[in-house]
Amino acid sequence: MLEILTDNKINFIAAVEIPDDPIILKEKIRNDAFLILKEGLHNIIRHSGAGNVEFRATLLDHVCFISLKDDGVGIDDSKQVKKGSHGNGMVNMRRRAQESEIEFYINSIEDEGTEIVMQFKI
């Protein structure tokens, strides 16, 4: 993320609070969480106009919390639908989360940014 974001002139902050011991994830969860983050990163670079992105990962009581937050333009679904730019990315993110039993939601405020949040048991 650091390299991709800095190459696109976006500041990146990471806050990772996980134990030093290795964490073994089910392959399906690992792959789907990765692809959700990848799509979120793509959306930030392509659509958000963000200057800053924050990635957080925390493990607490065998539950992993991951968030990817930007300070861009936010998501206004009504404008996207009218422009015809409402692609499959967000639909795919929700589908992947559901298939892997990852709690997933998107918080977005127009002109303030968007946050993608995932939560799953380990």
pLDDT tens track for 95-104 = 999 999 999 9
Burial pattern 7-28, b for ≥16 Cβ within 10 A else e, equals: eeebeeeeeeeeeeeeeeeeee
Q: Rounded to the nearest 10 degrees, what angle do helices 27-43 and 89-99 cross at? A: 160
Question: Tens digits of per-residue pLDDT, 30-81?
Answer: 999 999 999 999 999 999 999 999 999 999 999 999 999 999 999 876 444 3
Report the predicted TM-score, pTM, of the whole model to 2 decimal places.
0.87
Burial pattern 79-116, b for ≥16 Cβ within 10 A else e, equals: eeeeeeeeeebbeebeebbeebebebeeebeeeebbbb
Cα dihedral 71, 29, 94, 104 in deg (nearest 10): -60
CATH numbers and ranges of domains, the chain: 2-121 (3.30.565.10)
